[in-house]
Homo-oligomer: A and B are copies of this chain.
Amino acid sequence: MKPTLFALAALVPSALALWPLPTSLTNGTTPLKLAWNFNIKLGFSGAPADLEAAVARAEGYLKTDQLAILTTDRGASYANELKNAKSLPSLTLEFVTAPKHGQSISSISAEAVAPIEQRDDAYTLSVPSDGTGAVLKANSTLGLYRGLQTFGQMWFDLDGTTYTVSAPFQISDKPAYPYRGFMLDTARNYYPVADILRTIDAMSWVKINTFHWHVVDSQSFPLEIPGYPLLSQKGAYNPQSVYTAADVANIVSYAAARGIDVIPEIDTPGHTAVIAEAYPEYIACAQATPWASYANEPPAGQLRLANKQVATWTADMLKAAAGMFHSQFFSTGGDEINANCYNTDNETQAELAASHQNFSQALDSFVVGNHAALRSVGKTAVVWEEMVIAYPVTLANDTVVMVWISSEDAAAVASSGLRIVHAPSNYFYLDCGHGGWVGDYPAGNSWCDPFKTWQYAYSFDPLANLTESQHSLVLGGQTLLWSEQSSKENLDATIWPRAASVAELFWSGAGGDVDAALPRLHEEVYRFRQRGVAANALQPEWCVLRPGACDLTA
């Protein structure tokens, strides 16, 4: 997996609002408009329902985006050219190898959750300027879905005419990295399902393919797990703030139909204080004070992992939760274990003594047991970096490790030979820099200041400090929104367009130039807004309409 060279970026005219940038793109300067009866055709029979729905949505956006091009006259000067421009009659979706008669075609939803190394996002897209039809080709419905998103970004609106001034297009595209994610914490503050669905839509527009759902944490347990009703009944903030099994099924299928794999996380053994609401005897140091002695964040509380009953219960609960999701992956967390909590817990100390284990051995057994349970239902474990560095445990070779404490830790994790997802707090934490959540702290700074700008995140190097043989361990990366100070109120503007910035990094490859990217990112911001996602402004509109004019060197 090598990062794509990004020399292309500087050559792309600003009127080309493609995000992420295709890895191979040639285009012209010919105006082209959509025919009044333009439609998207399937060049094969037996299309799965989710592809047909994706086509219908793509056709819908072509009508409803109505995005005026981001030039000073918003495209008015193109009016005459467009009168005489050729019309694009159709876009036809085809497979590179036509399916045999009677062969069933795998759905987007199935391909989105296939083992990560088997997914095929590649597509080619040809949009001629001579009035003949456009063709989108891929090996898979997943690839066709990616190409549909690209096609949808090509068009602007002028008084009801949907057009481009950059035809013809010839695109051959595939991702630099197979994992391009976004993580949302729905435990510190709850997000209604509608907000998650809107976010999934937006993710799919920029080819993010993984929703890492940090669904529960010490503060609340909004997940209804079949067989474990007390967890959400006692642990959710209120009965309305629960993701029911039906909600989860809806979110998972909604995401899959948009090419997105939902990786759930139930963080263990730390970040579990809330389980004490339903199972008080399973939690050490529950709500112990001062919390700072027992946890990184209140309330304190960790699973009594040395207790066999707790370990068995946990493994079974994780297995039940895993059954709600289609992903091959399931995260068992493993971050921020507090040693003092266990050292001062009489029950844990008694269990350790009785079983002649030290804490590390007990933790190892606990994690191995959980991962074995998940494997028994076909799941591959994902963990935070502590499970390799701070509290190393026995991990299967296919375990995926998320590096979060610092980007500097990637090399140490890679030396374990395990696969990596980049989620570094010093680059990709979208919650940083808005002040801290601690109550009696007059200065109010946050531990991970400063704010991570889109430019800074964009400059991240996924291969820094890795040896060449370790490069293939890097699955990709993700932005993250921890929700101590976030809720639906600020969701869109906090994550967009920064999550898109990182989506391009892992699709188009590292080394992108922020200067060349900015005009395209503006166009994505403005298109998001047309689609109902409240993406944040990056510059005065004066600058937006004049690419480069607000550069320091302009």
Residues of A in contact with B (beta carbons under 8 Å apart): 74, 187-190, 218-220, 237-238, 289-292, 297-299, 433-445, 449-451, 453-456, 458-459, 483-490, 492-494, 514-515, 518, 529, 534-543, 545, 548-554
Contact = CB atoms under 8 A, between A and B. Distances in A.
Contacts of A297: 540, 550
B489 A540 contact: no
Pairs of residues from A and B, 10 with the lowest C-beta to C-beta distance, nearest first: A444-B453, A435-B453, A490-B493, A219-B542, A489-B534, A444-B455, A188-B540, A440-B551, A439-B551, A440-B515
Instruction: Give how many copies assemble into the complex.
Output: 2
Contact of A543 (B74, B298, B549): B298
13 contacts: A74-B238, A190-B541, A290-B554, A291-B554, A298-B542, A435-B451, A440-B548, A441-B455, A450-B451, A484-B540, A489-B536, A490-B536, A490-B537
A189 B529 CA distance: 14
Contact of A451 (B433, B483, B549, B554): B433
A220 B299 contact: no
A535 B538 CA distance: 21
Contact of A441 (B437, B488, B552): B552
Contact of A550 (B298, B487, B514): B298
Contacts of A434: 433, 451, 453, 536
B439 A188 contact: no
Contacts of A449: 450-451
A316 B358 CA distance: 84
Given A74-B238, A490-B534, A493-B493, A514 B440 contact: yes
Contact of A552 (B187, B438, B486, B514): B438
B443 A538 contact: no
Nearest to A538: B485
A311 to B, nearest CB: 26
A136 B434 CA distance: 39
